[in-house]
Structure 1
Amino acid sequence: MHHAKPATPAAPIPENPGFLRGLAWLAIAGCAIFTAALLIGDVVVPDHDWIADTISDLGAGEYEWIADIGIYGFSLGLIALAAAASHAHLGGKGWTLGVYGLLVTGLIVFLVGARNEYGDADQDGTVIHIYLVYALGVTFAVMPWAMSEGAARMGDRYGWACKAATVLWVVMAPIFFFLPTDIDGLYERVLGGVTFIFVIAVALALLKRARAVSAFGTG
């Protein structure tokens, strides 16, 4: 009678530095696409005041596709960052929470663009834009701090950048709802820059991880 041999534990599969590098750069590209779309929209859209008019105003009307490209690009960048951060998990529950948060936030940003419920008094069906905005307020308050410890494993500056993004966001984001409408467009763009600090910091930490894997074959 033959006895089956016990299964040999599978060896850990090493990270793929090229795959990791591509995803990290895609996350950075998402920020760049969003920025470029806003700058182009600010120039192309007639009678648009980038200081007074919000991104929501830019995403309504005949030229809404310009802002939508930026929004979808940023959504893709967030999801790419989630994939990269899960491929090179830098440890801890906070990093795991951040990965899930990036996936959810990527979906929320996509829905903001897809629903087109802004700037043009759209009331078709259930309007969820404000709830999506609140959800973004929560996720961007939690994710950077949660991932700061893992990012710091690749360099203190990455961890500090994540923490700085959290502090800036928590302090600045609520103020947006109380600003006069003649400056809220500029303020909203500054808030967008705060989210970029977090995304780019984590992406750069993962790029450094990819270089380490390429050099040594292991983390």
Structure 2
Amino acid sequence: MPNEPALPQTSHRPSFMMALATYAIAGCVIFGLSILIADFAVPDHDWIADTISDLAAGKYEFIVDIGIYAFSGSLISIALLAAHDHLGGLRWSLGSVGFAVLGLIVFLVGARNEYGDNDHDGWVIHIYLVYALGLLVAALPWAMSKGAKRINRNLGRLLVALSVLWSLSAPVFFFLPTAIDGLYERYLGLVSFCIVAAMAWLFIGRARSLR
């Protein structure tokens, strides 16, 4: 048999890591832009009172759906990065799986098109997806923080702070008057973007150090 090439000393691929981390940030930007575009494209839309779900229902739903799918890809990219560059511990392992599950949940939110618009065809699961999403976004930054501190103590602390911020902020949404819940939902979206960006920046730093 011909001699096979020797395996590399490390299994890490900095270029692969950089590409995934860059996309994770880009997916957040695409989602944000899709919401901004839909805010102007959807007739009679009030971005303070109307939620992102309102934008994702109706004639122009494809605009926000593109952003939702892009953000789903961002979350799965983080999951792939965390599995590729495992920073140790059960919390990190659970967090890696959790980001993949969160990406699937976000994808299902877009694919099911159930946004409280009186659509009762089949089993309506939107509210259950929202609950699961909320719990995961609260837990995942904390789960990854210990491993992150091994590389960047400040990013690890930031992940803990974002976990606490989300945990305190997200439940408030369900008690807000409909006149302002759209604006508040956008604030929560920004918090979730910060979580993804913090994780992506961690891996960008790792990729640079491994080159």
Into which bin does the TM-score normalised by the smaller protein fall?
A: over 0.9
TM-score of the pair, normalised by structure 2: 0.94
Match of 2:44 in 1: 47
Conservation of the 8 A alpha-carbon contact between 1:59 and 1:119: no
Task: Say yes or no: does 1:125 pair with 2:122.
Answer: yes
Gaps in structure 1 of 5+ consecutive residues: 1-9, 215-219
Distance (whole Å) between structure 1 residues aligned to residue 116 and residue 26 of structure 2: 26
Superposition deviation, residue 11 in structure 1:
7.6
Q: Structure 1 residues 152, 171: CA separation in 2 closer, same or farther (over 3 Å shift)? A: same
Number of positions where the alignment pairs a residue of Structure 1 with one of Structure 2: 205
Conservation of the 8 A alpha-carbon contact between 1:61 and 1:120: no
Write the mapping of 1:29-40 to structure 2, written as runs, cut at 5 A. 29-40=26-37
What percentage of residue pairs aligned between the two structures are identical?
A: 60
Distance (whole Å) between structure 1 residues aligned to residue 9 and residue 160 of structure 2: 31
TM-score of the pair, normalised by structure 1: 0.91
Mean Cα deviation higher: 183-192 or 144-153 = 144-153
Distance (whole Å) between structure 2 residues aligned to residue 194 and residue 169 of structure 1: 7
Conservation of the 8 A alpha-carbon contact between 1:161 and 1:197: no
Larger Rg: 1
Match of 2:165 in 1: 168
Distance (whole Å) between structure 2 residues aligned to residue 162 and residue 121 of structure 1: 37
Write the mapping of 1:135-174 to structure 2, written as runs, cut at 5 A. 135-174=132-171
Report Cα offsets for 1:67-91 as digits up to 9, x if no partner.
1001000001100111011111112
Q: Structure 1 residues 119, 66: CA separation in 2 closer, same or farther (over 3 Å shift)? A: farther
Task: Say yes or no: does 1:194 pair with 2:191.
Answer: yes
Distance (whole Å) between structure 2 residues aligned to residue 81 and residue 130 of structure 1: 25
**Aligned alpha-carbon RMSD (Å):** 1.2
Distance (whole Å) between structure 2 residues aligned to residue 160 and residue 193 of structure 1: 18
Conservation of the 8 A alpha-carbon contact between 1:59 and 1:67: yes
Mean Cα deviation higher: 116-125 or 139-148 = 116-125
Gaps in structure 2 of 5+ consecutive residues: 1-6
Runs of 4+ in 1 over 4 A off after TM superposition: none
Letter aligned with residue 87 of structure 2: L
